[in-house]
Structure 1
């Protein structure tokens, strides 16, 4: 895709107020590039010929496509290339998440023609990924309610494999919507269920018994939204270590930052929650890890434990 086409897409998105305009349901780009490239041919050719009426036919129209042999710009088939790289990953959530991240990084300039995000976390937006694998994505005011084990819940997300659509409810907090979207993305990549599939609100904190496919979709969401290397890197920058040990020095820094260690850190999970949520340590202020990755405190705490980034030391 030419620079002129990318610029045309960028300007059109600004006018429409829609950063996803012209990204079609299959992960490619719609007709705008073809028109933009044709327009780029008209003026230079007329100038070169010194004929302002070049390519105008006898009916007052234009025969530009025949005269110039202008062909539609080649569609950037992101969806197909991504799907090819993700074949054979059923039951492998961590590997599926890693390969999708690599595919989106590889095609980043096509996905974001008006500028690739500087923050790599912004590139992990599950809506972008859902669209990039050929699904349509919709936000709805509500998706209704359902009853589970005697409790009534708002339907958080629906995936329809037959129509290649994902729908999310606006009734839920941002981090819940984000994790649920990543969960549905996991279903789209790894599972072959047909028809509609409804999910309850998810933020990565539930440990209730669930089916194998639901557990896999949760694992995918966690790995996708919180990539191992990125979490390790940011954890190290914040705490100055590859593994946080609750020793006397660490206890001192936590307490001077306002954490009641005896109350909050009575277990490994308690310590993980503190490290996922604190915004000051060793005299420095920062966005918490949970905020940086746009996930719940519990989801980040679980991820820190999974990656072995914290160690409990008895006093």
Structure 2
């Protein structure tokens, strides 16, 4: 499990990198910046970091003698990051951000010379090798930075935190979905995922937060819970 101190360190690193991107973008986009999820595209950051970025149809599939689907790979000797074209968009995006995290946090580790990763979605944080957990957390913060998520969350749902009750459940899940949502256990991901998937609330229609930030509903739900934007 990543310590609170390490999380704070990663948060600070990502904020600094984002700020550099924003300042550079202000010179490029004279009429206003694009949405932050577009601005913080991980593939662009990887290239800015000095690595080439490639979407590959064929990826190396073995590590330590065991076979598995290689979703992402870093080759620090050739300065290249590869991501499999077989993955869904959200998985490609999170995997790319995960590899960027390895570059920023772990580039000098011996295991990064030709490091391979399984598909990464942000849905299994807290149950992996510490180095992989750090790259997962970096990816989550990179793709869904706290202040940005809070801004777009509040624009959609108003209150922070959004508390689960019958009225909220109705607006999130519709009349038929109220019983199941109200029966969900406190602390579960049922409500956060439902909020991440929601495309309307109190008469307003919008892109779901999951779609807007390019994350799976579960990964977005985990981020909402982590930022205490939803509550039971």
TM-score range, shorter chain: 0.7 to 0.9
The 8 Å contact of residues 182 and 225 in structure 1, kept in 2 or not, is answered as: yes
Count how many residue pairs are aligned between Structure 1 and Structure 2: 220
Shift in alpha-carbon separation, 1:278–1:157, aligned structure 2, 3 A:
same
Aligned counterpart, 2:84 = 169
Q: 2:24 aligns with which of 76, 98, 107?
A: 107
User: Residue by residue, what CA displacement relative to the aligned partner does 1:263-286 show, whole Å, maximum 9, x if unpaired?
Assistant: 245034100000000112112211
Aligned counterpart, 1:140 = 56
Flag the structure with larger Rg: 1
- Gaps of at least 5 residues in structure 1 are 1-88
Does 1:269 pair with 2:186?
Answer: no
User: Residue by residue, what CA displacement relative to the aligned partner does 1:226-250 show, whole Å, maximum 9, x if unpaired?
Assistant: 0101100111111111210112331
| Pairwise CA distance, 1:301 | 0.4
Structure 1 CA distance, aligned partners of 2:76 and 2:63?
A: 23
Q: 1:290 aligns with which of 210, 214, 226?
A: 210
Shift in alpha-carbon separation, 1:164–1:240, aligned structure 2, 3 A:
same
| Pairwise CA distance, 1:211 | 1.3
Shift in alpha-carbon separation, 1:108–1:212, aligned structure 2, 3 A:
same
Structure 1 CA distance, aligned partners of 2:175 and 2:87?
A: 30
Q: 1:222 aligns with which of 117, 140, 146?
A: 140
Shift in alpha-carbon separation, 1:261–1:165, aligned structure 2, 3 A:
same
| Pairwise CA distance, 1:164 | 1.8
Q: Under a length normalisation based on structure 2, what TM-score does the superposition of the two structures give? A: 0.86
Aligned counterpart, 1:233 = 151
The 8 Å contact of residues 277 and 288 in structure 1, kept in 2 or not, is answered as: yes
User: Residue by residue, what CA displacement relative to the aligned partner does 1:16-68 show, whole Å, maximum 9, x if unpaired?
Assistant: xxxxxxxxxxxxxxxxxxxxxxxxxxxxxxxxxxxxxxxxxxxxxxxxxxxxx
Does 1:304 pair with 2:219?
Answer: no
Q: Under a length normalisation based on structure 1, what TM-score does the superposition of the two structures give? A: 0.64
The 4+ residue runs of structure 1 with deviation greater than 4 A are 112-117
Aligned Cα root-mean-square deviation (Å)? 2.5
Aligned counterpart, 1:260 = 177
The 8 Å contact of residues 108 and 116 in structure 1, kept in 2 or not, is answered as: no
Structure 1 CA distance, aligned partners of 2:171 and 2:20?
A: 40
